[in-house]
Chain A
Amino acid sequence: MAEATLDQGDLMRTADGTPLKISIARAMRRNKLKALALIAPLFVFILFSFLIPIIDMSLRSVDNSVIPDVLPNTVAALADWDGEGLPPEEAFAALAADMKAGRESRDIGKVATRLNYELSGMRGTVMGTARRIASVDEGPYQEALIKANKDWSDPATWKLLKRLSSPYTMGYYLNAVDMRFDVDGNIEAQPDFRQIYVDLFLRTFWMSILITGLTILLGYPIAHLMATLPLRYSNLLMILVLLPFWTSLLVRTTAWIVMLQSEGVLNDLLVWVGVFSDDARPQLVYNKIGTIVAMTHILLPFMVLPLYSVMKTIPPSYMRAARSLGANQFTAFVRIYMPQTLSGIGAGSILVFILAIGYYITPALVGGTSGTLISNQIAYHMQQSLNWGLAAALGVILLATVIALYFLYNRIVGVDKMKLG
């Protein structure tokens, strides 16, 4: 008969002699397939609407294929150049040939744009040269190119081309952290007037932390109230907390503009009460204050709901027990109640913080120049400057930060303890 222990030669078998493991797998397969079929539509949707776009955008942050694609001969000719002085005549000839081909296929504009990211003024250089070189049919091309634009007599221009020969580049990432390659390909800081992204990242972080802190401060008491009030009142409060969700984000943000602007409700009230004189109204919107106030309001429910769901599970007997053991109200609250709400604070904080560092619409509307965040800069590069590579690099840095924070949170609090509702 079948033994309870499994030896090498003596497998557990079913009545007809099939090994038990195989028949279990067979019996489970149908259920597994059914489960897979149910989630398949969502998986396909996520794949095409979320994963593939993200991966594609991320790749743009290192993508440099335009130079090798449009200037293949130049790249090949520069491969052996040692970078001393001007490159040999073959390189000039190759560049002229590539430019003619590029002009015909209309791809030369991409090269011009790409080179312009690295060195301002290169757009004009490339476009002008391409136009003039089109009529030159024979060499020496060195002379012709330098005649077309004197930038080609500068070794730095050629060094730039050689540096960009690879199909991949770190240039966008360096740009995103206010660095750049110098003429010799060494990494250096951007000149002061072009340093914006690091400051913007730092501003995004401290404002997100501040907003997270404010939502905890404002959300904790209301969540506590909701968790302790009788159901009748707590339901009403819950509706009030959720009410903003039923209003368009745009409406809520513009409502804050109405509230906070110089001739707005709050300022009028402050002047009427006499806190400020009429000609010294404080600027409350189109700056950091506007962004902080509006985003705190908009993100508050994301803090209140996780807090509430945790607080709801803490029976009042804990506080009573603490008090019967000799702790006053304050000690009981700090030592017994608060530690038990930590998982709620953690869940709410990570939710609000992640939403805040990627927030776009509200800072765009009420932020002015001093209250915009990194996401507004990403949008600018996506829509206005069309420097998608830089936008992608900024986005990847943001995404990496969020993922790192998530793992940190998992390490410290544990994601399995996170309660969202």
Chain B
Amino acid sequence: MNSGQEDFIVQFVGVQKSYDGETLVVKDLNLNVQRGEFLTMLGPSGSGKTTVLMMLAGFEVPTHGEILLNGQPINNVPPHKRGIGMVFQNYALFPHMTIAENLAFPLQVRRMGKAEAEEKVNRALSMVRLDGFGNRRPAQLSGGQQQRVAVARALVFEPELVLMDEPLGALDKNLREEMQFEIKHIHDSLGVSVVYVTHDQSEALTMSNRIAVFDDGVIQQLATPPTLYEEPENAFVAAFIGENNRLTGRITGTNGNSCTVELDSGGTVEALAVNIAGQGEKTTLSLRPERVLINPPQDKYPNTFEAKVEELIYLGDHIRTRINFAGNDQFVVKVPNAQGHAIIDEGGSVRVGWAMEDCRALDAS
């Protein structure tokens, strides 16, 4: 076997998908999922991420290209022969069966012996901390419990790969965070590969080994969570992941890895050249609010400006400060509520500054 492919459980090779023959929902997808990895497909609705998941599960057929599972093409393999576990958004627990029957279903269709199946069901139930719930019906369980049953059912037949389609979307915030850790721990302890779909970026950042950011049927960036947040490669990823100050301008000069940008609204900024077309071309600058300093030491940063404070919102751990910077009044600065933090007055004037590396010059859109 080719040793280069051995690490990948799933490979998408030039996969395209169109429903109506006019527009492509997925455009030329090339993606390798490593064995044992927790890979999240993150994107706004309509970005094609769920379609990719459905093609992998076998419920949709690629219009073009090939999907490989363990190096074998599976385009013509029906869903029930793929051996992929799946957790659905609404859990899809069979309402006419008890929890134990739900969990036993995948084992029964595999013609497993009764005793062995029962043992596996019990083990799966204790894995999700629901011992003794076997005789209840799904409707008698809370949302979080149903969710855990759905995860257990997708894992009980010991698939190598589990797909999850926004499984936590219906839960409230606290429960969702709890379940994020629970799913993460199950993944870590079983070593199963997970492909997870969500539109919730914090969910993606919390759980994933790698995140593929989807937009418009294309993977915009595939990277680990810290890389994705700190080093977005294009304007879409920068805007989609985390909060972001967006400034537009024109490149007037480059110097090694830095460039000089003249803002549309006036003023000149030194930025890190990441994804720029060249001198004279338009660019989008991305700057995280927490990387902007209030009253920075004199001459420490190349970018230091005077700005008017428009609004202060007290959020406990930090103060969200909206300032008017170079004609852009949506510019946000997060001031940490640390000891001796700067005292700012609404309507007053303030000096802000940031390092060249924190201001990333990206593509124009």
Contact = CB atoms under 8 A, between A and B. Distances in A.
Given A315-B92, A320-B92, A321-B92, A328 B80 contact: yes
Interface of B: 57-59, 78-80, 82-86, 88-90, 92, 94-96, 105-106, 109-110, 153-154, 157, 163
A340 B89 contact: no
A325 B88 contact: no
Given A317-B92, A318-B92, A331-B109, A324 B157 contact: no
A322 interface: yes
Given A320-B88, A324-B84, A336-B94, 15 more contacts: A315-B90, A315-B92, A318-B94, A320-B79, A321-B86, A321-B94, A322-B105, A325-B80, A325-B153, A326-B80, A326-B110, A327-B106, A339-B96, A340-B95, A340-B96
A327 B80 contact: yes
Nearest to A315: B90
A323 interface: yes
Choose among B89, B106, B163 the residue with the greatest number of A CB atoms under 10 Å from its CB.
Answer: B106
Contact of B90 (A317, A328, A335, A342): A317
Contacts of B86: 320-321, 324-325
B147 to A, nearest CB: 14
Contact of B105 (A317, A325, A328): A325
The 7 A-B pairs of least Cβ separation, nearest first, read A321-B92, A325-B106, A324-B86, A317-B92, A323-B79, A339-B96, A327-B109
B84 A328 contact: no
Nearest to A335: B105
Nearest to A325: B106
A155 to B, nearest CB: 67
A105 to B, nearest CB: 68
Contacts of A327: 80, 105-106, 109
A317 B153 contact: no
Contacts of B96: 339-340, 342
Contacts of B106: 325-327
A336 B79 CA distance: 16
A334 to B, nearest CB: 11
A330 to B, nearest CB: 10
A335 B82 CA distance: 20
A326 B157 contact: yes
A325 to B, nearest CB: 4
Contact of A324 (B80, B94, B95, B110): B80
19 contacts: A315-B90, A317-B88, A320-B79, A320-B86, A323-B58, A323-B80, A324-B79, A324-B80, A324-B82, A325-B86, A325-B105, A326-B83, A327-B105, A327-B109, A328-B78, A328-B80, A335-B105, A340-B95, A342-B96
Interface string A293-337: 000000000000000000000010110111111111101100110
A320 B105 contact: no
A331 B58 CA distance: 17
Contacts of A326: 80, 83, 106, 109-110, 157
B85 A324 contact: yes
Contacts of B88: 317, 320-321
Contacts of B157: 325-326
A407 to B, nearest CB: 23
A317 to B, nearest CB: 4
B293 to A, nearest CB: 49
Choose among B58, B84, B94, B163 the residue with the greatest number of A CB atoms under 10 Å from its CB.
Answer: B94
Interface in A334-362: 335-336, 339-340, 342
A317 B54 CA distance: 11
Given A320-B79, A340-B96, A325 B90 contact: no
Nearest to A331: B109
A360 B109 CA distance: 48
Choose among A321, A329, A331 the residue with the greatest number of B CB atoms under 10 Å from its CB.
Answer: A321
B284 to A, nearest CB: 39
B57 A325 contact: no
B54 to A, nearest CB: 9
A33 to B, nearest CB: 38
A326 B107 CA distance: 9
B57 A324 contact: yes
Choose among A323, A324, A332 the residue with the greatest number of B CB atoms under 10 Å from its CB.
Answer: A324
A199 B197 CA distance: 65
Choose among A315, A317, A325, A331 the residue with the greatest number of B CB atoms under 10 Å from its CB.
Answer: A325
A325 B95 contact: no
A128 B79 CA distance: 88
Contacts of B59: 320, 323
A327 B78 CA distance: 10
Contacts of A320: 57, 59, 79, 86, 88, 92
A323 B80 CA distance: 5
